[in-house]
Amino acid sequence: MTNLFRLLQIMSVIAKYRLDELIPDLPGSGAAKKLLWLNPFRWFAKTSSEKHTRLRLAMEELGPVFIKLGQMLSTRKDLLTDEVADDLAKLQDQIPPFSSDEAVAIIEKELGKPIAQLFSSFNCNPLASASVAQVHAGTLNDGAEIVVKVIRPDIEKTIRRDVKLMAFFARLVERLWPEIKRFHPLEVVKQYEEVILGELDLSREASNTIRLKKNFENSDLLYVPQVYWDLTATNVMVMERIYGERVDDVEAMRQRGVNFEILAERGVEIFFTQVFRDNFFHADMHPGNIFVDTTNPEEPVYIAIDCAIVGTLSREERSLLARQLMAVLNQDYEQVALLLIDAGWVPKHTRASEFGQALRTVCDPIFEKPLNQIEFGPILIRLFRTARRYEMQALPQFVLLEKTLLHIEGLGRQLYPELDIWAIGRPLLEQWIREQMGPEAIMNELKRSVPAWLEHLPNLPQLAYDTLNQIKRQGDNQAAQAEQLRDLQLKLHRAKRKDYASIALGTTALVGAFLMSSGHLELPVISGMPMQSWILGVIGLGLVVPRLFGRTS
């Protein structure tokens, strides 16, 4: 009953904001438009705003789960138009807080002690309240300033209900509108479900935070606050409180005299370091999660919080990414096409030359500009949009990577418009490729493999003996099989010779029977035919027919 009520609520909001007008005129879209047009709630439609603004307003009205979906979709410019994506980026995750009594009850239940024993002070008024959790300030008994993150009560039930309805709409749209399948709406919903449910486990976020902090230990690029693991559980996480300027508060940083060139370049270096050196990247680097320590304005340091969403790539995936980036930079679009086909992102039947030419048509005009004026994010979006026409299927981790790169480049350009992302990224890429394919990489692989080899070394003599015996047995078996095959071939050859002889004799007998029956010879007659012709005919048929039908003796 609850699901039915929520479904009606969603349908009413869709009609109220006339979201059917957002459906593009593509083959098969008529059925979807008619279905939405028949929705009776459209009588209360609000159509004064722009179409893309109405989508944002609808998501805000539908609540936290849809707001998070809109924020995720705002980075998918390979699926949406620029206007829609840019407007969805304005979605604010400021949700009314839940009561402090509920927050205290959750903390005490999760950590097993009263608030007064856990903290020397605890502020019941939250610092921030978002769709999944809210944050309270406090102080530990040793005087350390901390923040306490608490998951909203019953939020998992709400998320699962709404995601289930999203999947229902995705399937319905795919069925009514086959053309939309190339945008993979059901796949988008499943990826979103994985992301948002992952945010519900704060012990997992704490683990991610600790790993990221360790990766940048003693670094002047990025600071990650300390997590208090003994005060962390599934629904509660306690971590060091940080102070800094929001990365998008340019005016405040300008007043402090921050070196924006250094700040922008460090942002790009952090991205490439996380992806290629550490294979572990913060995948939710929007301005609300990134701050800047301006204590030393000439050497500003980034501060990262909220590590619920992270990405990792296998060595093969990182190699593919590096080679793709280098191919794009070298404007070798056929190589980009081949890499995507070999990786299985694009069907094997795709012609690389045709696909490469389509990519060239999209990207070449961009590269007419000076390199330091080229934004890689839009190039990536255009490449993906073109590849979608060739049924491209991107891995979820690469979607997270694309989103992260768009955030980093967008922030970098906002801080320092002259930022040359390639001047920083290309040397790091080339160094990583050398490390993966050069002598050092071979030595590292040997170092990793030697312990395993040493572990198996005592067993090598027995393994070698067993292998030789197996080869010998296989050789004996093969010799026996070869002898059997020769015998069979000889029998077949003899059978064929007998068949040929029988067919020849039988044919001769049939010819003789025909001649005898023609009346040229005076012979005893049976039923109008010479008796001998009957005898020869029967013999001939007896010899020929079995051979023609495959019976051998």
Query: What pairing do the DSSP bridges indicate for beta strands 133-139 and 128-129?
Result: antiparallel
Instruction: Kindly write down the DSSP assignment for every residue of 312-327, as one continuous string.
Output: ---HHHHHHHHHHHHH
- Alpha-carbon distance 109 to 87, whole Å? 40
* CB crowding 305-341: b at 16 or more within 10 Å, else e: bbbbbbbebeeebbbbbbbbbbbbbeebbbbbbbbbb
CA angle 290, 292, 296 (to 5 degrees): 165
Phi, psi at residue 521, to the nearest 5°?
-110, 140
DSSP bridge partners of 491: none
- DSSP 3-state of 198: helix
In this structure, is the dihedral angle defined by the CA atoms of residues 73, 76, 78 and 84, taken in order, positive or negative? positive
- Alpha-carbon distance 545 to 507, whole Å? 10
Active-site residue flag, 284: yes
C-alpha 234, offset from chain centre: 26
- Looking up tokens 């030359």 gives 353
In this structure, is the dihedral angle defined by the CA atoms of residues 292, 296, 297 and 298, taken in order, positive or negative? negative
List the catalytic residue out of 78, 284, 306, 420. 284
Cα dist from 504 to 63, 91, 394, 498, 499, whole Å: 92, 92, 69, 10, 8
* CB crowding 391-415: b at 16 or more within 10 Å, else e: ebebeebbbbbbbbbbbbbbbbeeb
In this structure, is the dihedral angle defined by the CA atoms of residues 539, 544, 545 and 547, taken in order, positive or negative? positive
Active-site residues, by number, are 284
